[in-house]
Structure 1
Amino acid sequence: MINAQDFIKSLSLQVLSPSSRTTWEMHAADINRPGLQFVGFYEYFAYERPQVVGKVEMTYLESLPEHVLEERLERFFSFPMPCLIICRGMTPPEMLLELARKHDVAVLGTDMITTRFSVNAINYLNQCLAPRSTLHGVLLDVYGVGVLITGESGVGKSETALELIKRGHQLVADDVVDVCRVTDNRLVGESPATIRHFMEIRGIGIT
């Protein structure tokens, strides 16, 4: 599940038409550009993804007679999509906003070009939907490389990390490390918010 407000805030989106839903069910870190759907092709329609409208799609919608536009948008919004994003700061037709409200679909706007926004949205969804695990150890940034120190309790993981920190390297997480796999060959580790910026050193306490 994706929190709607977090999505809007993280991607600096404007709300053109709100929705009553506070979360969206998504399972893939991807977006859909609904050009084919606007012309009536609905096989393999990825309606469960954010729908992103760029200049091409908007120009096509604006070229349609009003009764055709209503028919196309009515069918489009009948699918349970999470949201529709209008790029390039374009103003959508009023009918689009009306039908979005009717079907309780949020319409959002951004000034970014479509390609750049799509990349940002996919990166954000990758972070949110990535498989996650929690490990016991200390994670540091050593010369720009993530280093995870693991071992049994009491062997000196935090003390070893402290010596590396004294040599100018950076602490990422101590004791508890949250790890997510954002791509098949990329792992990202971070500290839980409650213990971020702290270390537990045997004999000293929490610093």
Structure 2
Amino acid sequence: MGYQKEIAKLIVKQKADYILALKGHHSGLQGELEAWWHKCQREGFTADNFDEHTTIDSGHGRIETRRCQQVLVNKSWLNNKYQWVGLKSIIKVTSDVHEKTTGKETTETRWYISSLDLNAEQALSSVRNHWQVESMHWVLEMTFREDESRIRKGRGPLAFNVMRKIAMTLFKQDQTKRASIAAKKKMAGLDDEYRSTLLESGIKMR
């Protein structure tokens, strides 16, 4: 948490804003902020301290409803050890997913701290962009085993990082196979025809 506080300081110093996800090592801070949230809720949210935005997306066999709620923080109410430079608001994003084929319903809630003023639509857009970056890094690490690569000299790591990202893009946009990226990666390694199809689609993309 101390390291992330320093990052927040640098971001604010550069006159930019931050949205930082609260995870397990932030349990104390999250508890404080949830308590503040419930206090505001009991007293009644107002247009001065609360904003909300909802989106509904359909694709890949599921419907996802994202509800972003944002509350301004009174920093004087927080314990000193939970004071962050530039902290202005708490963001709560609830994602409800309905799987069309199975009818399965799942709900996930994530909490964030931010230096942004009230604008739930902007906050949700920023969070979604962050999810996309996280998703890409997860695929590179888990499917392409990038962290295990022993290529370390010169421009090798950068060159192979670019090639992995190209491969990931080709797998994602491929519509000829209904399979995960990991499965497509295996198929491409074993099937010359499928590999040619992927490379040809890459040429057409240009």
TM over 0.5: no
Q: Which has the larger radius of gyration?
A: 1
Q: Which has the higher helix share?
A: 2
TM-score normalized by structure 2?
Answer: 0.31
